[in-house]
Amino acid sequence: MPQVRVQPGRSAFVGRERELAELVSIVDGPPSARFRFVQIVGEPGIGKSRLLAELADAARDKGQEVLLGRASEFETCRPFGVFADALDDHFAALGPAWYERLGAVTVARCAAVFPAFGAVSQDNLGAERHVLHRAVRAALEAVVGRAGLVVVLDDLHWADVASLELLDHLVRRPGRGRLTFVVAHRPRQLSVAGHTMLARAMSDGHGHRLELGPLSQEATALLLGAEAGKARVAGLHRASQGNPFYLQALATVTDPVLWQQTPAELSEELPAHVRAALLSEVDRLSPLARLVVRGAAVAGEPVDAELVAVTSVLPVTQVRAALDEALAADVFRGGTGARAVEFRHPLLRHLVYDASPLSWRDGAHRRLAEVLHRRGAAPEARARHLELTARPGDTAAVEVLVEAARRVRFRAPATAARWLAAALGLVPAVSTEDRVELQVELADALTAAGRTEEGVEVLRRLIRGRRPGNSPAQTRAVVLWSTIERWLSQFRAVAPVLRAELATVDESDPVTAATLHHELAYVEHALGNQEVAEAHATAVARTPPVPEVRGLQASACGLLSYNRFQQRDIPAAAEWIDRSIADFDALTDEELAQHLLAIEHSHWAGLFQGRYPDTVRQARRILALAGGSGHHLVVLRSQLRAATALYMLGELVEAEQFAEEAIEVATLVGQPFELALSLLLTSEIAGDRGDLDRSVRLAEEVVELARKHELRSMGPAVFQLAEARRISGRPVDLAADFAELSYEHPSRRVWELPSFQLEQLVAHATALGDFHYAEQALKHCQGLAHELLRGSTGHALLSEALFLLARKESDRAAELARAAMTSFAADGLPFNVGKAHFTLGAALAEAGQRAQALAELDRAIVLFTECGAGRWVEQTVKLQRKQGRRVPKAAPRVSPGELTVRETEIAELISQGFPNKAIAERLVLSERTVTTHVSNILAKTGLTSRTALAAHVLRAANGE
């Protein structure tokens, strides 16, 4: 039977005992369930906030820390607003020692999200979002106690996009500690981004969803009290449809006619009879208190008497007296102890704001903006009020809105886009150049926010309305539009516009001509017009090398190399890539920064030709310049190229780090193709490092994503799923489950596989006993081999060695494995050298040459350990054991339990091959702190080197 619970300053709690018990059981679940995510959904006023308050009390009673925040309808443009509301006061109460332990880098980054961490430095205004997300995760990990931390986020439907992105990151990568997120929202008002984030949160098994329905008539009777007669209870229950907020509002009405003639169903967001009941509460206040309540609705929450004095144009003393009156009438709540004064319910604030005269509201917002300006408030604080009240031609408002947008564009590009759009609406149509610049900036912000189609549409409108003749701003707009259209594979309408623009260029302006030639080269290449593309690229390459053009020339040479590579003219491709790399290396940082978008495309040619060290070096340099530039796609693709090249070079740990960052950025900016490539690479790395379940899970995700978006080049993803299943011990039937990998299949997916995957395919097919298929893959791999393509010859040799070893031709297999080893070593590919040692060891073991086999396997273990390839280490150890080898156990001075939690974590990362710098980045610590921890670990264990520590941790993981 329902019971009534009453607490001071809160509505009665009734009819939700079952829901509360369910929530408490989730939040107070077994310690092994480290992360939990709960969403409570329901219509406005159904009791979500009241249930959250009870849950917070129950969690505190069980010793858990609870932090509550609420998004506001009137502050949807405040970046990370709901997180700041929940966490900032808690962070502000922590002492200097906590901030010192967290590290200066993390503190500086968190300042872009939480005011408690101090002023935002200019450097961190431009920090990439995924970097800020990792810093916040580290700060949360640092405050989670043993009993756990519960973060409650109410009214999530009003949360800004930056908050939703941060929550998405924290749910997908919750980190260490017993952390629970509980969110409440109205599903009909939740944005598409919010629904997408919640769907991901629910898909991984951590999520719970609780939907609140109407109260029963029995609960309604308890809420109204014993003095309410049956007829009144029935009438109010019918009128409120069991909504407790509506019920309490209607119960204050003395005239029952208002609620006796209500419809059978409530379809409005705030039904008329409930609206009338709520307004009658405010109308019963004195005129002065009504004015103050209106002023508070504009000024925001928590209620600040001094700001309300500004909006209502009253002395502060009168405002405070009126606030007391509104508190006594239950329009406001709070004001006791540390509790801030707030409206009783967000719906009440919404109603009061909406009912206020428009002209009065505009004046109140203007007065607030002026006061905030005099107080030295940041442009972001003033922008919210100016976007609501500024009039066309208000250049001062335009300046504030644009400055505010630029300050948040990297942290919260969706908010930046909103303010830029508002500024654009204030700029007169005659200010052509100003409008063009703002439109380009708006398109860039929309693209960064993952709203690429909207960004492109802004540019399309700009291009359609452009005037004849060139201007620098117009040319930049055309080239940016073309670049984004190419990224979206929507480039057919671009070429005519570029040609028309090029036709108007004066011969005395080679820079503009080269810029348009360069863009046309890539567009024609995408259209399949390779001869035309080469003509445009050659025109760029032959332009006099002035500083404004040199970056474009490096890119054009890269395109020429790629075209020759596709035509299998490998010598010509190598010549062009040599020039491209040389031209790139000769660029100054200023020249490179000027052409980041253009140059980004050219480096794939080097990657495809095995120029891995050059690719890594170029990617690092681009990332150093692109970080904080707003060029999110440049950052994304550079991370992806760096990860791929590092993987091929055997730097698995760093490759994984870049790939995971690429996943974060691709998710943020909504790029499914790059997301698929990042997931694919991470799956491959996870398989080599020994995380087999994750490898399978990621491969399944990438295949699903590729099919959903009909992405090109799906072959590598399909094969990786088959390979991940095989190495994890799951059953695989290539013919039945992966028919599209057949050489006879019309999709020709198998022809998309690179050399290293074809080598894996040979091993895969022979393991399944399909030698015909293995021979087809072997011939395919041999056909791709060329002495100028790094690694391709080695993969062909090793593929044949694996094929012959499976056929018990061990002598010839050993000979080919040695040749592969030599080839890979000459190309600087240590991971593949290790695989060749492994194959040679297996061949020698098959031939009965035990001592030589063990020696080769020892060499393989050294290389695999250095590369961080845990699965290959395990495979090699198993093969050694088959040969009778007993691996000695280490005897450290302390047991693992005597290391601290942080020391254990660092030791595990060292065993995975992470250098100190990478560990510091991953754990969001200073490199110096990591160095100190490593010294302490070595001293405690009695080990003398990182290599010895890594070997010990790996042996312990293997149960040795």
- Whether 333 is in a domain gets the answer yes
> 182 - beta bridge partners?
38, 152
Bridge-based pairing of strands 13-14 and 4-5 is antiparallel
Same domain, 723 and 774: no
pLDDT at residue 421, as a whole number? 93
CATH number of the domain where residue 844 is located = 1.25.40.10
Average pLDDT over residues 767-771: 91
Return the minimum-mean-pLDDT range out of 165-169, 280-284, 299-303, 476-480. Answer: 476-480
Last residue of a domain, one of 346, 377, 408: 377
Whole-Å CA distances, 83 to 69, 71, 90, 114, 208: 7, 9, 11, 8, 21
The band of 912, judged by pLDDT with boundaries at 50, 70 and 90, is: confident
Give the phi and the psi of residue 34 in degrees, each rounded to 5: -65, -35
Same domain, 507 and 589: yes
Please say if the pLDDT value at position 640 is more than 90.
yes
Euclidean distance between CA atoms 869 and 874, whole angstroms = 9
- Whether 620 is in a domain gets the answer no
The more confidently predicted of residues 342 and 260 is 342
Q: What percent of the chain has pLDDT over 90?
A: 43
Same domain, 206 and 228: no
pLDDT at residue 938, as a whole number? 77
Going by C-beta distance under 8 Å and a sequence separation of 6 or more, which residues neighbour residue 194?
A: 156, 157, 159, 164, 185
Which strand (E) or helix (H) includes residue 625? helix 612-626
Which tens digit of pLDDT belongs to each residue from 821-851?
A: 999 999 999 999 999 999 999 999 999 999 9
Going by C-beta distance under 8 Å and a sequence separation of 6 or more, which residues neighbour residue 651?
A: 867, 868
Average pLDDT over residues 291-319: 93
Same domain, 476 and 593: yes
Whole-Å CA distances, 939 to 266, 909, 928, 945: 70, 17, 17, 10
Same domain, 201 and 228: no
Average pLDDT over residues 400-406: 93
Average pLDDT over residues 384-400: 90
Same domain, 605 and 659: no
pLDDT at residue 671, as a whole number? 84
Average pLDDT over residues 250-278: 62
Tokens 């961190």 belong to which residue?
Answer: 124
Euclidean distance between CA atoms 462 and 429, whole angstroms = 12
pLDDT at residue 467, as a whole number? 66
Encoded tokens for 546: 């002035």
Residues 569 and 524: beta-carbon distance below 8 Å? no
pLDDT at residue 764, as a whole number? 92
Encoded tokens for 98: 């906590």
Which tens digit of pLDDT belongs to each residue from 112-153?
A: 889 999 877 665 555 678 888 889 999 998 888 888 899 999
Euclidean distance between CA atoms 688 and 696, whole angstroms = 12
The band of 889, judged by pLDDT with boundaries at 50, 70 and 90, is: very low
- Whether 29 is in a domain gets the answer no
Last residue of a domain, one of 377, 410, 445: 377
Please say if the pLDDT value at position 265 is more than 60.
no
pLDDT at residue 623, as a whole number? 87
pLDDT at residue 337, as a whole number? 45
pLDDT at residue 926, as a whole number? 67
Same domain, 460 and 470: no
Same domain, 251 and 288: no
Last residue of a domain, one of 885, 912, 938: 885
Same domain, 478 and 599: yes
- Whether 776 is in a domain gets the answer yes
Which tens digit of pLDDT belongs to each residue from 678-725?
A: 999 999 999 999 989 999 999 999 999 988 888 877 899 999 999 999
pLDDT at residue 958, as a whole number? 53
pLDDT at residue 858, as a whole number? 93
Which tens digit of pLDDT belongs to each residue from 23-71?
A: 998 888 776 567 889 999 998 889 898 899 999 999 999 888 999 999 9
Dihedral angle sign, alpha carbons of residues 304, 306, 310, 312: positive
The more confidently predicted of residues 377 and 449 is 377
Tokens 């549409």 belong to which residue?
Answer: 457
- Whether 23 is in a domain gets the answer no
Residues 497 and 474: beta-carbon distance below 8 Å? no
Please say if the pLDDT value at position 257 is more than 80.
no
- pTM for the predicted model, two decimal places: 0.75
Same domain, 520 and 459: no
Euclidean distance between CA atoms 110 and 764, whole angstroms = 47
pLDDT at residue 574, as a whole number? 93
Return the minimum-mean-pLDDT range out of 430-439, 663-672, 774-783. Answer: 430-439
Helix (H, G, I), strand (E, B) or coil at 485: helix
Average pLDDT over residues 909-934: 74
Tokens 């993803």 belong to which residue?
Answer: 717
pLDDT at residue 944, as a whole number? 67
Structural domain tally of the chain?
8
The more confidently predicted of residues 157 and 339 is 157
pLDDT at residue 960, as a whole number? 53
- Whether 249 is in a domain gets the answer yes
Return the minimum-mean-pLDDT range out of 432-446, 745-759, 822-836, 838-852. Answer: 432-446
Average pLDDT over residues 173-182: 85
pLDDT at residue 268, as a whole number? 47
Burial class (CB in 10 A: 0-12, 13-18, 19+), 878: exposed
Whole-Å CA distances, 766 to 468, 504, 721, 814, 838: 65, 61, 17, 17, 17
- Whether 748 is in a domain gets the answer no
pLDDT at residue 333, as a whole number? 86
pLDDT at residue 127, as a whole number? 62
Same domain, 83 and 196: yes
Helix (H, G, I), strand (E, B) or coil at 179: strand
pLDDT at residue 841, as a whole number? 96
pLDDT at residue 121, as a whole number? 67
- Whether 12 is in a domain gets the answer no
pLDDT at residue 900, as a whole number? 66
Average pLDDT over residues 219-232: 80
Same domain, 916 and 837: no
Mean pLDDT of the chain: 85
Q: Which domain holds residue 653?
A: 625-740
The band of 210, judged by pLDDT with boundaries at 50, 70 and 90, is: very high
- Cα 548–Cα 554–Cα 560 angle in degrees, nearest 5: 130
Which tens digit of pLDDT belongs to each residue from 642-658?
A: 999 999 999 998 999 89
